[in-house]
Amino acid sequence: MSMLVALLAQLLHIGLMLAVAPLAVGLIRKVKARLLGRIGPPILQPWRDLARLARKQPVLAENASWVFSGAPAVTFAATLAAAALVPSFALGMTAAPLADLLVIAGLLGVARCALGLAGMDVGTAFGGIGSSREMMFAVFAEPALLLVIFTLSLLAGSTNLDAVAGALHDGALGLRVSLGLSLIAMLAIAIAENGRIPVDNPATHLELTMVHEAMVLEYSGRHLALIEAAAMLKLLVWLGLIGTIFVPFAIAPAGAPTTAWGLGLLGWAAKMLALLLALAAFETSIAKMRVFRVPEFLGIAVLFALLAVVFLFVSQGFA
Amino acid sequence: MMGGHLAFGTFSYDAAHLLGGGVLVLSFVLLYQRRLTAVINTYALQSVVLAAAAAWQAWVQDAPHLYLTAGITLAAKGIAIPLGMHRIVRQLQVNRSLESALGIFPSMAMGVGLVTLSILVVLPVTPQAQTLTREELALALSVVLMGLLMMITRRTAMTQVLGFMSLENGLILAAVSVAGMPLVVELSVAVLVLLAFAVFGVFFFRIRDRFDSLHLDNLDRVGGIHR
């Protein structure tokens, strides 16, 4: 019976992630437009864009290989798998034993790698620039993420996301300087990974400084729909990771009855809403940084993550 | 696990530790900033967090004189000195963008090295002290060393003074986290800093009159160092 409940939670979670991801992006665009004094497109607009793109036939370059046409599916599948592993409203879903933080980092890495290869496949200059920049950022973002994971696993005694969330949920660990430093590092990584404003501008399509959009410039039709959907899902995955790890309240614990899901859903919605509004306000108030300053920004995320590890050794009585 | 009435997981311990950590993080932010006004504002924020840390310690240790320390820190270093600094920046019309002798990333990496160093130094020499005291001492020593690092890497008079003031924030952090530090010590440090700020203010104007800039490379000439 409990297996069925876990499976139900898992399916509900995946459906929720798929349904909400475009709405989250729509909400950010709406709030940003309102903050700038414009009315902005309706929140449902990203869904409409996706539906329209999915109906269109993709246009392929003459020299596009199977890498180019296969990459969108790989990217979307890897991101969806990661999304399935990051809990939203309930712990102890069917996939929970697989939800290792390293696995999630790896899945996101696979998605990025597929897109990076696809960006270079056709041989246009823009795609190549986008891919090389994306990889340059990843070189800094991934070590920072691994250090954060190291800190969390030292604290919780496991790299499993459900175990980490459970340990933090119980509150036995209390407030820790290490957790604060990890949170700073994690926010910086999340901004860079999702190409949000100080690092990359998600709203431009033709600019010399764009990164993600440059990489996927050659895509059209249903391929583009898959890539856009993957990018939206990725944003939700990162917000979910931050919410689950650093704000571990109001999530239904493993084995809780289905009646606890309601509170979990409400809590999750509140967390996501707060994070999305904060992101929109942050993006409106800050200017994009120069591309060659981004490694410095991410290097600092690495340093903060390293500092978190150092402090953890202190508070565990290392001398 | 160490002894002491403040143990891990208790809220008063965690909050004190978190505030100390906040002061240290703001030391890193000081190193990261590229604009003079931003450095001054970060310094003000660091002082405010320090005042909060002092007030929290006053409540935890039940030591009313620490409230006075918190008040002085907030009024002098959180409000008065930053306002004075902004005024000097406006009056002297100094160049508002800063350069770092080392580059931002290497100096931050050195900062992490210094934090590790201070932890390695403080922990072995204080095995009998309470856990809270040990860690706060490690944090405070890190803030002091970061202040010194800022004085080394930044090449204008204003930022060197801010580095000195941030170093002094580290001293106050150490003073408030050690139970039983007499008020006289804290008061004299606070007065010293205010005096130092006044003297530095005069020096800014003198250096400016002399060289038309606050860049300290000019002073090397006077000191007889020829490169």
Interface touch A296/B109, C-beta < 8 Å: no
Q: Which is nearest to B89 in space by CA: B139, B39, B147, B16?
A: B39
What's the whole-number mean pLDDT along residues A38-64? 93
* Residue A275 banded pLDDT, cuts 50, 70, 90: very high
Q: Is B7 on the interface with A (CB under 8 A)?
A: no
pLDDT at B3: 33
More confident residue, A197 or B11: A197
What is the per-residue pLDDT for B6? 44
Phi, psi for residue A94 in degrees, rounded to 5: -55, -40
pLDDT score for B69: 82
Tell me, what's the pLDDT at A278? 95
- Weakest-pLDDT range from A204-218, A232-246, A265-279: A204-218
Which residues of chain A make contact with B20, given a CB cutoff of 8 A? 177
B124–A303 C-beta distance less than 8 A: no
Nearest chain A Cα to B133, which residue? A315
Q: Is B69 exposed, middle or buried (0-12, 13-18, 19+ CB in 10 A)?
A: buried
Q: Are B79 and B71 in contact (CB under 8 A)?
A: no
Token pair, residue B85, equals 């600094």
Contact B123 A319 (CB under 8 A): yes
Estimate to the nearest angstrom the gap between the alpha carbon of A228 and the chain centroid.
Answer: 13
- N residues, chain B: 227
In a domain, B21, yes or no: yes
| Confidence (pLDDT) at A171 | 67
Instruction: Please give the tally of structural domains in chain B.
Output: 1
Do A310 and B115 make contact, defined as CB atoms within 8 angstroms? yes
Would you say residue A49 has pLDDT above 90?
yes
Q: Which two tokens stand for residue A75?
A: 């990217």
Q: Kindly list the residues from chain A whose CB atom is less than 8 angstroms away from the CB atom of residue B2.
A: 317
Tally Cβ neighbours within 10 Å of residue B43: 27
Q: What percent of chain A has pLDDT over 90?
A: 58
Q: Check A299 against B116: CB less than 8 A apart.
A: no
- Residue B15 to residue A174: CA distance in whole angstroms: 9
- Please report residues of A whose CB lies closer than 8 A to that of B131: 317
From B2, B18, B124, residue closest to A177, measured CB to CB: B18
**Mean pLDDT score, A238-259:** 85
- CA–CA distance, A144 with A303 (Å, rounded to integer): 8
CB-CB under 8 Å, B32 with A314: no
Closest-CA residue of chain B to A309? B116
Of B13, B20, B32, the CB nearest to A300: B32
- Domain with B91 in it: 11-223
> Is residue B29 less than 8 Å (CB to CB) from chain A?
no
Q: Is B11 on the interface with A (CB under 8 A)?
A: yes
| Residue, of B13 and A274, whose pLDDT is higher | A274
Per-residue model confidence (pLDDT) at position A184: 92
| Other beta carbons within 10 Å of A156 | 20
Phi/psi zone of residue A256: left (φ > 0), alpha (ψ -120 to 50 degrees), beta? beta
| Nearest-angstrom CA–CA distance, A151 and A143 | 12
Residue indicated by tokens 């190549």: A128
Task: Report the pLDDT value the prediction gives residue B128, as an integer from 0 to 100.
Answer: 67
Q: Output the pLDDT for position B176.
A: 83
Q: Is the separation of the CB atoms in A178 and A168 below 8 Å?
A: no
Instruction: Note whether A313 and A177 are within 8 A (CB).
Output: no
pLDDT digits (tens, 9 = 90+) for B145-160: 999 999 888 877 788 8
Please name the member of B8, B111, B123 whose beta carbon is closest to the beta carbon of A174: B8
Q: Given a cut of 70, is residue A1 above it in pLDDT?
A: no
Answer whether residue B2 is part of any domain. Answer: no
Q: Would residue B210 count as lying in a domain?
A: yes
The pLDDT score that the predictor gives to residue A178 is 85
**Rounded CA gap, A254 and A90, in Å?**
7
Q: CB neighbours of B173 closer than 8 A, spacing ≥ 6?
A: B20, B23, B50, B53, B136, B139, B140, B143
Least CA distance to A185: which residue of chain B?
B25
Instruction: For residue A18, name the pLDDT band (cuts at 50, 70, 90).
Output: very high
Tokens of A56: 């269109």
> Can you name the residues that pair with B35 across neighbouring β-strands?
B97
Kindly state the average pLDDT of the residues A208-218: 84
Per-residue model confidence as pLDDT tens digits over A175-184: 678 888 999 9
- For position A315, what pLDDT does the model report? 63
Q: Tell me whether residues A172 and B9 touch, CB distance under 8 A.
A: yes
Mean pLDDT of chain A, nearest integer: 89
Rounded to an integer, the average pLDDT of A12-25 is 95
pLDDT band of A317, cuts 50, 70, 90: low
Give the distance from residue B184's alpha carbon to the nearest chain A alpha carbon, in angstroms: 31
Whether B54 contacts chain A with CB within 8 A: no
Would you state the pLDDT for residue B4?
37
B6 lies in some domain: no
Which ranges of chain B have pLDDT less than 70?
1-10, 95-96, 126-132, 179-186, 219-227
Query: Is B40 among the domain residues?
Result: yes
Instruction: Map tokens 């309102």 to a residue.
Output: A34
Pairwise CA distance, residues B95 & B214, whole Å: 9
Tell me the sheet residues that pair with B154.
B100
**B91 — contact with chain A (CB < 8 Å)?**
no
Residue B94 lies in a domain: yes
Confidence of residue A272 (pLDDT cuts 50, 70, 90): very high
Which range (A124-133, A134-143, A249-258, A259-268) has the least confidence? A249-258
Candidate from B17, B18, B112 with C-beta closest to A303: B112
Tokens standing for residue B29:
């932010």
Element (H, E) at B26: helix B11-32
- H/E element, B70: helix B65-72
Min distance B101 CA to chain A CA atoms (Å): 16
Please indicate, yes or no, if residue B3 is contained in any of the structural domains: no
Contact criterion met (CB < 8 Å) for B116 and A310:
yes
Specify the amino acid at residue B8: F
Q: What is the 3-state secondary structure (H, E, C) of chain A?
A: CHHHHHHHHHHHHHHHHHHHHHHHHHHHHHHHHHHCCCCCCCCCHHHHHHHHHHHCCCCCCCCCCHHHHHHHHHHHHHHHHHHHHCCCCECCCCCHHHCEHHHHHHHHHHHHHHHHHHHHHCCCHHHHHHHHHHHHHHHHHHHHHHHHHHHHHHHHCCCEHHHHHHHHHHCCCCCCHHHHHHHHHHHHHHHHHCCCCCCCCCCCCCCCCCCHHHHCCCCCHHHHHHHHHHHHHHHHHHHHHHHHHHCCCCCECCCCCHHHHHHHHHHHHHHHHHHHHHHHHHHHHCCCCCHHHHHHHHHHHHHHHHHHHHHHHHHCCCC
As a whole number of angstroms, the distance between CA A65 and CA A61 comes to: 9
Task: Give CA angle at B152 (B146, B154), nearest 5°.
Answer: 95
How buried is B208 (Cβ within 10 angstroms: 0-12 exposed, 13-18 middle, 19+ buried)? middle
CB of B83 within 8 Å of a chain A CB? The answer is no
A50-53, Cβ contacts within 8 angstroms, sequence gap of 24 or more:
A50/A22, A50/A225, A50/A228, A50/A229, A53/A221, A53/A222, A53/A224, A53/A225, A53/A228
